Amino acid sequence: MKAAIFYFTMSGNTELAAKEVAEATGAPLVRLHAEPPYTVDDIDWIHPDARCTREHKDHSLLPRVKPFGVDISSLDTVFIGFPIWWHEEPAIIRSFLTTYHDQLKGKTLYPFCSSYSSPVSEADASLTKEFPDLNWKVGLRLPGSQAEIRKWIEQ
């Protein structure tokens, strides 16, 4: 498997999840950043005009993905990790999938998430609806055991 683990995190939970996937796979970690980066105010979901809320309501709002210097076309498997925001993936993940769509096509994509309580199936549903021509595996919500992660990869 020629894989890499792309992930977005604000408060570190998804980074811990990404490290669990790295432990199970040996794949390198690639952190995704938005340009401009999200601030604390940007993710204050209580406010209807906060950046995260506007991007959730209007999926045409796509933040720029900071270049990360990995050649996706050399991979066959791509892990994509993120926190659940508003019962779906954050807009930066949609940006990543849109910006690198041509390179991602034909690769095997494994979504994983962290969340307070929302299941990853919410993101599975939105990702497969929005990017139906990409090759999605069923997602996994972490933290989890190494055995659970290995079973997920073998699906």
Ligand X SMILES: Cc1cc2nc3c(=O)[nH]c(=O)nc-3n(C[C@H](O)[C@H](O)[C@H](O)COP(=O)(O)O)c2cc1C
Contacting residues toward ligand X, per CB under 6 A: 9-14, 43, 45, 52, 83-87, 114-118
Which residue, 131, 64, 54, is CA-closest to 85? 54
C-alpha closest to that of 9 among 22, 65, 17: 17
Residues 21/112, Cβ–Cβ less than 8 Å: yes
Q: Choose between 24 and 52: whose C-beta lies nearer to ligand X.
A: 52
> In angstroms, what is the minimal distance from the CB of 42 to ligand X?
9
Minimum distance of ligand X from residue 146's CB (angstroms):
20
- Compute the least distance from the CB of residue 137 to ligand X, in Å: 20
Helices (H), 32-74: 51-57
**SS3 track for 2-15:** CEEEEECCCCCHHH
To the nearest whole angstrom, how small is the minimum distance from the Cβ of residue 142 to ligand X? 9
The nearer residue to ligand X, 107 or 139, going by C-beta atoms, is 139
Output 108 or 126, the one with its CB closest to ligand X. Answer: 126
11/97 Cα distance (integer angstroms): 22
Closest to ligand X by CB, 20 vs 107, is: 20
